[in-house]
Chain A
Amino acid sequence: DAGVIQSPRHEVTEMGQEVTLRCKPISGHNSLFWYRQTMMRGLELLIYFNNNVPIDDSGMPEDRFSAKMPNASFSTLKIQPSEPRDSAVYFCASSDLGHPRRDQPQHFGDGTRLSIL
């Protein structure tokens, strides 16, 4: 079965440009998470969707970041305008939570390595 698919795998762009990261969760999973991983801060949760609805966006750094989930099979994370400090690896994960149970593993994509010059 296909796992979580993220695109692009690598993105290099100049500061000020808009960046869009994409994620296709595992079919049938109803929860989707966006994380950011850096050496300094480790793995941080940015936003959580349940049934396509944003439930917790308290980890989104600032208004330059936005995330959408227009349907159960697609989500985007957008940064506009981008800054060098946004450089990181961004992961998408999905989970099967019929109701917000607390014992389901999260399945991660391989991430997007973002470099803002």
Chain B
Amino acid sequence: SQQGEEDPQALSIQEGENATMNCSYKTSINNLQWYRQNSGRGLVHLILIRSNEREKHSGRLRVTLDTSKKSSSLLITASRAADTASYFCATDGSGGYNKLIFGAGTRLAVHP
């Protein structure tokens, strides 16, 4: 079963608006990662946040982590048409190695 569940499943916004995607997970984690997937391409790593971190920034991306609620959010500020993609959160499972469990993803459409 999937560890991470993204919300919403789909999001449609205009260029320049902010996009917020949420991820909930079930078990304790060491880190949580966000990936982007453009249509017909592989996943691309965006950002990793460790369990002892609460917030992390990378360019127009802001990730928060609330381990007490077992949830994370990804904020993309000032969105662009090029941000149109699916976004996945992934948590490290219990395999004892870097085994990632991916959520179902959020499909983001940014309209010019």
Q: Which residues of A pack against B, CB within 8 Å?
A: 4, 31, 42-43, 45, 48, 50, 55-56, 91, 93, 95, 97, 100-111
Contact = CB atoms under 8 A, between A and B. Distances in A.
B57 interface: no
A48 B41 CA distance: 21
Given A43-B102, A103-B31, A109 B42 contact: yes
A31 B100 CA distance: 13
Interface in B88-112: 88, 92, 95-105
Contacts of A56: 95, 97, 99
B50 A45 contact: no
A4 B99 CA distance: 18
Contact of A105 (B30, B33, B99): B33
Interface in B44-78: 44-45, 48, 50
